[in-house]
Structure 1
Amino acid sequence: MSSIHREVLIDESPENVWAAIRDFGEVHNRLAPGFVTDTHVEGDVRIVTFASGIVVHELIVDVDDESRRIAYAVVGGALEPRHHHASMQVLNDTEGRSRFVWITDVAPDGLGEPIAEMVDQGIRVIKRTLDREAAPNR
């Protein structure tokens, strides 16, 4: 199993970053536009279409407003690893900024590198998107 752990500082308040993540059916608009081209929700499953054309079905496992954390697992679609669980969490940082933490566990190990590449690309887009949202307010 591979574990992918990424953190990035975002120049936006934790409340605003969490609001974008919490709106889990709007990833393509609020969190990662361009990287994700469509998102829709059917019950407790989020169907995500990536710019690469890959479509995944993610079971929303938990949405915790108090800890500002969402957890999900891939349960279908084009990418069906033996195991895939991920969480995104927003933590307070200094000067009104946020620390965004994204952890993904995936098996088999052979999927670790391609998933890490997707996470790295996604986190760059998320940071750019949310930093841009904060810029007019700073």
Structure 2
Amino acid sequence: MATIYKEFTVDAGIASAWDALRDFNAVHRRLAPGFVIECQPGEGSRTVTFANGMVAHELLVGIHEAAHRLSYTVVGGKASHHMASAQLFAEGENRTRFVWITDVMPDALEGYIAAMMTQGVEVMQRALGGAPEKPAG
């Protein structure tokens, strides 16, 4: 099983970042606009359409308010297993660290999922309040 780990910070307080993250059915408007272009709510689920045309059916596994953590799984599609979580950590009054982890099988999907997550990080960082950080060098 491949594990993909993405971490970034935003110039926003944890309350506003959490309000956007926990709004499961507004991912296309509040968290990742332009990366996710459509979201159809279901009963404890959503069907999301990405800008590249990929469609995924995601089941909400849980929302942990105190830990600022949301977890979901993708069902159907090419992955035999997909489990993801996103968790926020306060880094002072107006800065939040965002940790997004996805476990996926088969391992052959790692590169594709990692590339999509990299795109998602850039969009989420802008949407939540901070431009992507420039690499050193």
Taking structure 1 as the reference length, what is the TM-score of the superposition?
Answer: 0.91
Gaps of 5+ in 1: 133-138
Structure number with higher helix proportion: 1
1:102 pairs with 2:67: no
Tell me the distance in 2 between the aligned counterparts of 1:131 and 1:4.
Answer: 23
SS at match of 1:28: helix
SS at match of 1:94: coil
* Pairwise CA RMSD: 1.0
1:114 pairs with 2:117: no
8 Å CA contact 1:26–1:40 kept in 2: the answer is no
1:82 pairs with 2:51: no
Tell me the distance in 2 between the aligned counterparts of 1:62 and 1:127.
Answer: 23
Which residue of structure 2 aligns with residue 68 of structure 1?
Answer: 68
Runs of 4+ in 1 over 3 A off after TM superposition: none
1:4 pairs with 2:4: yes
Superposition map of 1:7-86 within 5 A: 7-76=7-76, 79-86=77-84
Query: Quick one: which amino acid aligns to residue 37 of structure 1?
Result: I
Tell me the distance in 2 between the aligned counterparts of 1:13 and 1:102.
Answer: 18
**1:96 Cα shift?**
2.1
Taking structure 2 as the reference length, what is the TM-score of the superposition?
Answer: 0.91
Tell me the distance in 1 between the aligned counterparts of 2:40 and 2:82.
Answer: 20
